[in-house]
Structure 1
Amino acid sequence: MRLPVLRSGVRWKIAIAITAVGALTAAALSLVVRNAAQVSMLDNAREVQMERVRTAQRYFEPPANQPARTQARLNDPALPKELQQLMKEKRRGTYVEDSGGTPRIWAAVPLSNGDVLSLQTGISPSSRTILKDLDRALIIGSVSVVVGGGALGVLIGGQLSRRLRKAASAASQVAEGQTDVRVRDAIGGMVRDETDELARAIDALTDALNARIEAERRVTADIAHELRTPVTGLLTAAELLPPGRPSELVRDRAQAMRTLVEDVLEVARLDSASERAELQEIALGEFVTRRIAALNPDVPVHVVHESWVSTDPRRLERILLNLLTNAAKYGKPPVEVTVEGRVVRVRDHGPGFPEALLREGPSRFRTGASDRAGTGHGLGLTIAAGQARVLGARLTFRNVEAGPPPSPEEGAVVADGAIAVLWLPEHAPTNTGSFPMLPLDDGVRDKE
């Protein structure tokens, strides 16, 4: 069982931490100050009380034996036991008695005749007022410290959180293919902290990956370009062979190699992000119907409603060709094409796309299998996805679920065909003459 995940921002974590520390510090200091003030006040009251009882002692000690003019009492039965013990030892002393939350100060001295003279008073009203004022001041100070600490935590945490969000946004743009974005420039600021170190590390990683990808792309393009001439010569030479089965096999393999070389070159051009669409206004339904009839007359086209779009007809035709070829090679008939507004759907009734393609999107240089059982696809869908990005469109993939498996041992839901959906954009062209290019991973799965 998975435990619930509590999500909170860095800003609030820092604010809560500073507020908690401030609250604990304020509470501890308040208790210390309050206790110290009360102890000092009680010590002073005990000294005063002792002076008063010693003054009263002169009226009771012989030979004076004058009438008492003080509040002192002889042999008070309410004398605390602690003072009674001191009196037995012939020692004078003071004692603070807590009676119902109000402390009372006792002072007692032993007389020469064996009697005990004692005096008791409570805390003076002025002292109680001072303690109340001190409590009020400590409470106000503690609340101010907590509120100020919380505000400071929000300010500091907000600044750090804002920098981290900018770094995450810039990193996401890099992941989407905008290789010119730099995380360090995105976060900005004059302060240098760990966020800047993280940004520099991401930028260095981006530069290294870009350099490696560019090197691999150039190697692939150079190899394909160097192969084009000998493959063309091989295909020409194969045409000169005498008729026969061996000659047909040679020509077939030579043509397959030439197609592979052209596809590799096209993939390299798409990876370079230098391709631009030559836009034209076309009626999408009429265009798809006409092109599908030329590519494969057996595939029916259903136009739900017509829509005019601004796109590149050559690239759109290339996408349709690759989708139809993929459906015919890996799916099962009937293959159906539906045009609804700016959306074109190509469906077959085969075993569906493999989970790896639905999860990760098309992958280049992977050969397909007639049963789509997990060996993947070749360059066809990769080129189609790349051409869709040049058009500013999205190419998504999903399977049609036929229902649950006959038995639990047979696995997950059975697929009843694969659907490739091309979503043409509604936005106006950019200044470069092309729609904004979308990243490869954006919308490779159809969630509808």
Structure 2
Amino acid sequence: MPAGRRIIRRLLVRRASIRTGLRWKLSAAIALVGALVAIVLSLVVHNAARVSMLDNARDLADERVQIAQRNYELSGRPNFPDIKIDDPALPSALRAKVEAGRRATYVTEQPGGGPDIWAAVPLKDGHVLSLHTGFTDRSTDILTDLDQALLIGSIAVVLGGSALGVLIGGQLSRRLRKAASAANQVAKGEPDVRVREAIGGVVRDETDDLARAVDAMADTLQKRLEAERRVTADIAHELRTPVTGLLTAAELLPPGRPTELVLDRAKAMRTLVEDVLEVARLDGASERAELQDIMLGEFVARRVAAKDAEIGVRVVHESEVTTDPRRLERVLFNLLANAARHGRPPIEVTVEGRVIRVRDHGPGFPEDLLAEGPSRFRTGSKDRAGVGHGLGLTIAAGQARVLGARLTFRNVRPPGAADHIPAEGAVAVLWLPEHAPTNTGSFPMLTD
């Protein structure tokens, strides 16, 4: 039963997340409005035509009963076969008007049939002369033809409105999709992309206003980020000299535990300053890779052995790659340092073709890192990354971008385990490009 409930819940969530295109929404709205307008107009026209025909029929009946009245007064008989004297079927409402000395007409509705038209007039001798006729076949045919024409017209209005909605909605949807695509390119680090130029067109509408607003926002954010990067680089550069002097002065102190503590903190500060400077250079997108041809498996095995001989390296498939060895080593060492600091042994490195995997058996990466990628000065959860400044993975991602590579992060869980089950380890995967990087301005994709 729990498994069945989970399946039903997934289906409901998937059903609730179905997306509907703008063109179809607009088409449905126009079709609905067109159908309502067509129905209302059809009812109004039908009723107006029916009332007009009934008025004409009543006028005709009134004229005939007046002619019959004159004939009766001259010859003593009405001279019309459908004229009756004191008809017992005369409606009571019409009889009351005639008895009051008034000439009148009256319409009755027959169940399942057309209307009946009555006309009556009082005679001088006290009798009542009346005429009873039905709705003519010609009038019925005219109403039927009118209803058919109104139905065909309503269908044409709905179909035409739907087609117009699809046309207008499709054009608007294409402009919005182009704007969204351009905005995504800007979000991925391509500041030269302009949303307004991407959507094109000469018509000014709300889409153009949105595109211009996005472009203005992107320009403002770019300027602010550039200003922050310059400030960060300037501060780190200015700190470099006094930190170096502090480290030199600490090395001159007499040996002892206090001196070791001072040296340790001074070295940590120097490392932090150097990392901040490196992040600032990577943010500036001015770094370029110095390419060489290397055998990836052999390169990783030698570098890892020099770093820590206890870390195992498994080369599944050797491959020759064109990359920057210095930057690749920087990425690899930062991933190993992160695994050693925040994970648990054993740490495993696997090389398969152009892919390098670094796995530990710790509590896994924080959820915000998996969702948003590395962020500077964010140490993550208290289970992992509880110490440090969050610059190691940020630098690794930046160097991977310069290499044209893709760096992804994921946690290892037992097959079919729920999200609340603790992870059995963390895996960082570096995907080197098949060809030498030519465009280093794109950010790495942070997806599983």
TM-score, scaled to structure 2: 0.87
Partner residue in 2 for 1:77: 88
**Per-residue deviation, residues 192-214 of structure 1 (Å, max 9, x unmatched):** 22222222222222111111111
Distance in 1, matches of 2:165 and 2:387, equals: 54
Q: 1:380 to 1:97 in 2, by over 3 A?
A: same
SS of 1:339's equivalent in the other structure is strand
What RMSD in Å do the two structures reach over aligned CA positions? 2.9
Deviation at 1:163, TM superposition (A): 2.0
Distance in 2, matches of 1:226 and 1:260, equals: 13
Deviation at 1:290, TM superposition (A): 1.7
Partner residue in 2 for 1:301: 313
Q: 1:70 to 1:361 in 2, by over 3 A?
A: same
Distance in 2, matches of 1:210 and 1:263, equals: 22
Q: Which runs of 5+ in 1 are unaligned?
A: 406-410
Q: 1:55 to 1:117 in 2, by over 3 A?
A: same
Distance in 2, matches of 1:26 and 1:67, equals: 48
Partner residue in 1 for 2:29: 17
TM-score, scaled to structure 1: 0.87
Q: 1:390 to 1:209 in 2, by over 3 A?
A: same
Q: 1:350 to 1:130 in 2, by over 3 A?
A: closer
Partner residue in 2 for 1:423: 431
Distance in 1, matches of 2:246 and 2:277, equals: 18
SS of 2:404's equivalent in the other structure is coil
Q: 1:235 to 1:128 in 2, by over 3 A?
A: same
2:49 paired with 1:49 = no
Partner residue in 1 for 2:6: none
Distance in 1, matches of 2:337 and 2:80, equals: 121
Partner residue in 2 for 1:401: 413
* Count of matched residue pairs: 434
Distance in 1, matches of 2:364 and 2:152, equals: 70
Q: 2:347 aligns with which of 331, 335, 342?
A: 335
2:421 paired with 1:413 = yes
Partner residue in 2 for 1:408: none
Distance in 1, matches of 2:381 and 2:88, equals: 108
Partner residue in 2 for 1:213: 225
Q: 1:95 aligns with which of 72, 82, 106?
A: 106
2:200 paired with 1:188 = yes
Partner residue in 1 for 2:4: none
Q: 2:334 aligns with which of 314, 318, 322?
A: 322
Q: Which runs of 5+ in 2 are unaligned?
A: 1-8
Contact 1:56 1:70 in 2 (8 A): no
Q: 1:257 to 1:156 in 2, by over 3 A?
A: same
Q: 2:144 aligns with which of 129, 132, 144?
A: 132
SS of 2:370's equivalent in the other structure is helix
The residue type paired with residue 153 of structure 2 is G
Q: 1:388 aligns with which of 397, 400, 413?
A: 400
Deviation at 1:101, TM superposition (A): 2.3
Q: 1:86 aligns with which of 74, 77, 97?
A: 97
SS of 1:90's equivalent in the other structure is coil
Q: Which moved more, 1:231-240 or 1:161-170?
A: 231-240
Q: 1:439 aligns with which of 435, 440, 443?
A: 443
**Per-residue deviation, residues 310-360 of structure 1 (Å, max 9, x unmatched):** 322221111111111222222222221111222211122233333333333
Distance in 2, matches of 1:260 and 1:279, equals: 27
Q: 1:155 aligns with which of 167, 188, 198?
A: 167
**Per-residue deviation, residues 170-202 of structure 1 (Å, max 9, x unmatched):** 222221111222222222222222222222222
SS of 2:118's equivalent in the other structure is strand
2:183 paired with 1:175 = no
